[in-house]
Amino acid sequence: MEVISPSAHSMKEPTTKFLFSPPTTPPPSTLAHSPDIQNQENDSLITNASSDSLTSTPPPYPLPPKPRPISVLPEDLKTPDNHVERDARLIRLTGIHPFNVEPPLSALYEEGFLTSRNLHYVRNHGPVPRVEDSEVLDWEFTVEGLVDRPVSMKLRHLIMDYKQVTYPITLVCAGNRRKEQNVVRKTKGFSWGAAGVSTALWTGVALADLLARAGPKRGARYVLLEGADNLPKGSYETSIKLAWAMDPERGVMVAYKMNGELLHPDHGKPLRVVIPGQIGGRSVKWLKRIIVSSTPSENWYHIYDNRVLPTMITPEESANLAETWRDERYAIYDLNTNSAVFCPAHNETVSLMASEEEEEVYKFKGYAYAGGGKRVSRMEVTLDQGRTWMLANITYPEDQYRLAPETETLYGGQLDMSRESCLCWCFWDIGIPLSRLENAKDVLFRAMDEAMMVQPRDMYWSVLGMMNNPWFRLVIHREAGSLRFEHPTQPALMAGGWMERVKKAGGNLANGFWGEKVWGEVEAAKPQGTKEVSMVNSQVERHITLEELGQHDGEDEPWFVVDGQVYDGTKFLEGHPGGAISIISAAGQDATDEFLAIHSENAKAMMPGYHIGTLDSTSLARLKSIGDAQPDASSSSSSSQSSRAVFLQPKFWSKAVLSSKKPISSDSKIFSFTLDHPAQTIGLPVGQHLMMRVRHPDSSTYSQGGGGGGGGGESIIRAYTPISEGSSTGEMHVLVKIYPSSPDGLTNGGKMTQALDRLPLGSAVEFKGPVGKFEYLGRGICTIGGRERRVTKFVMVCAGSGITPIYQVLRAVINDEQDETRCLVIDGNRTEGDILCRDELEDLERRGKDRCKVLYTLSQPSEGWKGARGRMDGKLFEREVGTRGEEGDDTLVLVCGPEGMERGVRRAFEGLGWGEEDLVLF
């Protein structure tokens, strides 16, 4: 591999020959220095625009807005991004970390054609690589693969040896406007609003020049681009066609400056690829390798992200369609034509009080863009849902750069605007008389590019929710002498927009008429007995601030939030089935996802009794933005998850990596997870369980730059008990029984178990805990709801995978030779093959001798089965356990299994005189 250094190559004319015809004159160097340039000179020149030919005369083109001072935000201090300064105005779309944000639409509009580094949208998939300023010039990257002359070079040599160029480029996330698709039907991606688009001046080197030096070999067709970010499935890598990379009209560059400054860490410091006209997911940040290949990238992030699968494929079906994901026909490269509205803002009002001199006109304003270098050629507006149209005015600020002299340099690079391709967004506006708006119920907008491709009327829903570009619709409301304009949606979890309102009212957003009832449309039958349970007390009018909520984040008076409503859990600390810790761990937090995922309608019906107020909207937005914060320093030996001594945290989700799946029966598997380091302890007390949170498999939660296919996927949360001991280190094993959907589609199966089963190895899964009201302390002493109880015998009743908490307690008893507690295990299953952990149970029975007896009963036994037969019922328990009076006060019944089984066991034992205080249901 060729190593580029100042001594090996002149800055003005590289000695390596170009495979493609080189310029007739040496490329001008951005740094006008000799080959023996000193490091300190490089350091100063990389951050200056000293070679710019700008004078005091204002240039004919826009310059970027001056960014306001920023700092590391409090919510980032406890994350791996604690070195990254950020603007607090950015809207977080996926919680605290990773950092995925868009600016407020109004703030994006106010900055104009160019977006400051502070407000430029960000799509990250994991921690931001940390690169100090002193390390920037020594950043190394390679050009390799199917090339004649592989190259390894540092950034300083890229600057010295190649022609530097600067030009404006608009980057767009493939998920821009995805919130609209998520309202119609949940996709596997998180909810971008309409501000996943930004424009900046980028300075660097044409990628074609680097490839020319390396010399692609015959058969080379693709360029693979790999970043340095460390993600669960390795580095992020994607690819584009070699012909695109070599085409000067495409304008693909390797950039190290943004708006005249070194790249901000969120935007790829110190080096990235910028690909105009294509989705942001192809513009790889923190660039380390450029690989020329005959085939597209095989990287996980290239295959399972930035794709538009056929609209009939559901998120559930997509999990089993590996070949479909690999089909390059569904990969997204060029952007599609799209537009959105800046003015009016969502819920903006305009007075109808007309002037006496002339009729008032409201001016609508917005942006539009196309892909692949195409220009937006027209912008059309309709007030009658497409029967008639009006033309809007379009301005192209990008063209102002073409007015600069050919030799103009900007931020150290030649202002290279010789190409015909359009690399940027444009702006449009149209004035409409208020009298016409007053008589209209909505305004719809569509753009067309120079290839006559026009935004479609209707949405093309797809499993990842990418490339959403139907007509942009504003609804007009007439209210007390004014007009109020309503946008389709608001980003992230922010409420608002006509789409949510229409869907909540029962409208069908996919009916082709924006959810409005049309003549002949059959109204969907409403299921009987499905009245939504109200969780609020209508008489409570109190408004609570985030500061007030924060004063109740402990165990004395725990307050928590569900759907924006505040509840006081103090009265339920003793009676909560999951134990007081379940409420305490949610104190001071937004517990919406967890509560709705695991609580029944009966539990919801109890909530008005604990309802104390509503969190004000500002506080709710702040709370949601920090909902997935990392553990605080007080909970472990370090503020970083990767160095904590204990894995499980009661208030925060911790990630572990799925490392293996081991089948142990026809429908059950042991899922193994790797913790952060070999010495990290699970931290689960005996008898308690943990919460597991999984997003849909194949989601691209950690994928780079483009659409963010999975970060916003539906969260599925369930409680599990690992079969690993709580004191185990480095790894955790969880036994799960898989409940598949029926082949005829009549039953959906278990959402969580199927999602977990389809999850690829290497995926990150989140855990929180411990939770549960029961804990076994050892040698006959346990606590139930915090109250200590001494027992001499456990009756353990379980079925299926309900064996896991039973096995956990039984193992603790038998492993302690000084523990004299007797244990009777009654394990009910359908067939002999359904018995889980049989070898382990029988080993404990053997070692426990007189202290342990294991009884299996089968409802569908084979002819040769010699154990008990039939379902677990009162007769079985009367024969094997006896009545409450026969057993005495020091026996405790532990029950775990399906909900129906637990109800039956409870009734059977109550019939034998056992009280509620004698039964613990896990």
Known binding positions for Mo-molybdopterin:
173
Residue 209: both structure tokens together: 């020049």
Could you tell me the end-to-end alpha-carbon distance of the chain, in angstroms, rounded to an integer?
62
User: Residue 801 is which amino acid?
Assistant: S
The distance from CA 887 to its chain's CA centroid, rounded to whole angstroms, is 53
User: Among candidates 456, 452, 449, 453, which has minimal Cα distance to 375?
Assistant: 449
Within 8 A by CB and 6+ apart from 521, the residues are: 508, 511
Catalytic entry in 173, 782, 837, 852: 173
The amino acid at 817: E
The single-letter code of the amino acid at 852 is C
Q: Calculate helix-pair angle for 803-815, 838-848, nearest 10 degrees.
A: 30
Q: Of how many residues is the chain composed?
A: 922
Q: 357 vs 354, 360, 435, 742, CA distance in Å?
A: 9, 9, 15, 71
Query: Which DSSP helix (H) or strand (E) runs through 770?
Result: strand 764-771
Q: Alpha-carbon Rg of the chain, whole angstroms?
A: 32
Q: List b or e across 81-120, with b for residues whose CB sees 16 or more CB atoms inside 10 angstroms.
A: bbbbbbbeebbbbbbbbbbbbbbbbebbbebebbbbbbbb
> Which residue among 306, 336, 469, 829 is the active-site one?
306
To the query of whether residue 537 is one of the catalytic residues in this protein, the response is no
d(CA 650, CA 689): 11
Residue type, 21: S
Q: Give how far Cα 766 sits from Cα of 656, 658, 677, Å.
A: 6, 10, 16
Burial 4-35 (b: 16+ CB within 10 A, else e): bebeebebbebebeebeeeeeeebbbbbeeee
834 is catalytic: no
CA distance 474 to 441: 9
Task: Report how far residue 404's alpha carbon sits from residue 413's, in angstroms, rounded to the nearest whole number.
Answer: 13
CA distance 108 to 96: 21
What are the tokens at 656? Answer: 């572990």
Tokens of 712: 């916003």
Residue 674: strand pairing partners: 657, 731
568 is catalytic: no
Which pair of tokens denotes residue 864?
């040769």
Which residues, 6+ apart, have CB-to-CB distance to 833 below 8 Å? 665, 666
To which residue do tokens 């007075």 refer? 351
Nearest to 212 by CA among 59, 19, 379: 19
Write down the H helix ranges in 187-314.
207-214, 242-246, 300-303
- Note if the bond before 861 is cis, omega within 30 degrees: no
Does residue 760 contact residue 698 with C-beta atoms inside 8 Å?
yes
In the annotated binding site, the residues are: 173
Helix (H, G, I), strand (E, B) or coil at 205: strand
Answer whether 344's CB lies under 8 Å from 476's CB.
no
Enter the DSSP assignment of 117. Answer: T
Q: Which of 209, 305, 449, 819 is catalytic?
A: 305
Residues labelled as active-site residues: 173, 305-306
